[in-house]
Chains A and B, each alone.
Chain A
Amino acid sequence: MDIFLQQLVNGLTIGSLYALVALGYTMVYGVMKLINFAHGDLVALSAFVGLTVYTQIFGEGVSSLIAIIVVFVFTAAIIAFVGVLLERLAYRPLRTAPRLSAVVSALGAGLVIQNTIMLMWGPNMKIFPSNLFPQTLWDFGGVVMTFTQVMILGLSSVLMVALFLFINKTKMGTAIRATAIDQDAAKLMGINVNRIIMVIFIIGSALGAVAGLFIGIYYRGITFDMGWLYGLNAFVAAIMGGIGNIPGAMLGGLMLGLFNAMITGYISTQWAETFTFILLIVILIFRPTGILGEKVAEKV
């Protein structure tokens, strides 16, 4: 039972990170019908940028609320800017090209970001300082929760609720949904589709940036090519939940995190990836559009 509860906590933590990253994939797919394969590398870039921001501005060993806020806000802003740049340079020129061209461009952009990280920070693993977050632990009768885990769960939940409200309750959010349904009709409403796409990239990249920072803080070791691993897992999560569907990405991320943690806890770490993809195949066989699928209006 202890293993189960402990893995539940661990699974929800990593699941929240997958969910944050999966939102970036699913929002871009929803509006552009494009898999932004460079998204995972943006997540990795965020961990490195965050590390530099932290050590350059505050110096290692400083831990304060101000430092945490500055590192998160500053890094998220930089990654959002890179995301917008990515769309301008790699995707917009191919907007009307066949989808395959855009996918190849996305893969290429991912390699460019990955290699840029390697050239700027070196090919070796970098270690995130352990003291940005306090090293507090809570022990609930054998189940341990760290301050970092609480922060990951708390901030991810806040961000996801905020995103959900933004998409469903605001004028801009409604315009994003309208653009995802029918771009030409959206233009005829006076919606500037380029601006909507920019907003999507800002939000998606910033959420990915938060995930990237948490990955650095939680796992400590960061490598230039780790974006591939986290990106792929989050991509799987987005597909499981139903790509293009925002609550689906949240659900898919949490489910995948839990599933991974249980396999790790009860079978072995080595098998986790294998089972992830078996799960994906099973879901796609029985629910080809994902668990929540694309929302379809049914006649009543």
Chain B
Amino acid sequence: MSKKLLQVQDLHVSYGAIDAIKGVDLYVNEGEVVTILGANGAGKTTTLRTISGLLKSKGGSIFFDNQDITSTSAHEIVAMGMSHSPEGRRVFATLSVEENLMMGAYTLKKYDKKTLEWIYEILPRLQERKQQLAGTLSGGEQQMLAIGRAIMSKPKLLILDEPSLGLAPVLIKVIFKAIKQISQAGVTVLLVEQNAKAALKLANRGYVLELGKITHEGSSEDLLNSEVIQEAYLGKKK
């Protein structure tokens, strides 16, 4: 049996009096690509932000690499080997592309040259623009940078929040191809997506989050063939 790299048990998160996450259980095995699907406001981003330590949970536990990280602060979690590329890309606009990548490697004593070369190989646009300020990049390029920046820390688990949001179809293809290459290099991936079809094609397993609760889970194949999922997320009519 493969090792559980990430395990979330009965997670509860609230914003003031409003409960956003109401008991989420999920796990990610080492080497897997797992996707979380769901509509706007289902709690996907909240779940990810809680896992990576930006939000405090109200109840439940989060284990990463056999350690309890439920109340560990965000910067320490990065040093443990989890990297989170946030929703909306959040690149440092007035830093150059190269400086952004260097910040990705902040937890390492010195950045890893091979990792940087590899990022330039799978996302060549970044190398062309390495001297440019990140804020001058197009949306797709900023997304590439956000992903590249996240793997500069050489993570065991890469968390991606809506990497295809607002991108042209041709760029979505580039992004998904890069995610596939990152996964093939041995990085475990937890992917949140609205583009359910593309996400399920890439993932081994998936969860469906609705109003703060997991309503369906299963292998990508099962989810792709499930009528409920097809209707709600893949745009097929019965």
Contact = CB atoms under 8 A, between A and B. Distances in A.
Interface of A: 171, 174-175, 177-178, 181-182, 184-193, 295-300
A62 B213 CA distance: 75
Given A187-B74, A188-B54, A177 B79 contact: no
B37 to A, nearest CB: 23
B106 interface: yes
B52 A188 contact: yes
Contact of A297 (B73, B84, B136, B150): B136
A191 B153 CA distance: 12
Given A184-B54, A297-B134, A297-B136, A189 B103 contact: yes
The CB with the most chain B CB atoms within 10 A, among A187, A191, A299, is that of: A187
A187 B103 CA distance: 10
B92 A192 contact: no
Nearest to B77: A190
Interface string B67-106: 0000001111011000111100011111100010011101
A193 B75 CA distance: 8
A195 B4 CA distance: 32
B44 interface: no
A188 to B, nearest CB: 5
B89 to A, nearest CB: 9
Interface in B146-173: 149-150, 153
Given A171-B106, A189-B106, 6 more contacts: A174-B95, A184-B54, A188-B85, A190-B107, A299-B136, A300-B132
Nearest to B102: A174
Interface of B: 52-54, 73-76, 78-79, 83-86, 90-95, 99, 102-104, 106-107, 132-136, 149-150, 153
Contacts of A295: 94
Contacts of A182: 90, 92
Given A184-B90, A185-B92, A295-B94, A190 B106 contact: yes
Contacts of B74: 187-188
A300 B133 CA distance: 10
A7 to B, nearest CB: 36
Contacts of B94: 177, 181, 295-297
B127 to A, nearest CB: 18
Given A190-B153, A297-B136, A184 B86 contact: yes
Nearest to B138: A299
Contacts of B153: 189-190
Contacts of A192: 73, 75
A182 B75 CA distance: 14
Closest 9 pairs between A and B when the two form their complex, measured CB to CB:
A297-B135, A190-B78, A190-B107, A187-B74, A185-B90, A297-B133, A297-B93, A192-B75, A189-B103
Contacts of B136: 297-300
24 contacts: A174-B102, A175-B106, A177-B95, A178-B92, A178-B95, A187-B53, A187-B73, A187-B75, A188-B74, A188-B83, A188-B90, A189-B104, A189-B149, A189-B153, A190-B75, A190-B78, A190-B79, A191-B75, A192-B75, A295-B94, A296-B135, A298-B135, A298-B136, A299-B136
B84 A188 contact: yes
Contacts of B90: 182, 184-185, 188
Contacts of A298: 135-136
A175 B103 contact: yes
Contacts of A177: 92, 94-95
B10 to A, nearest CB: 25
A182 B91 CA distance: 9
Contacts of A193: 75
Nearest to B150: A188
B86 A178 contact: no
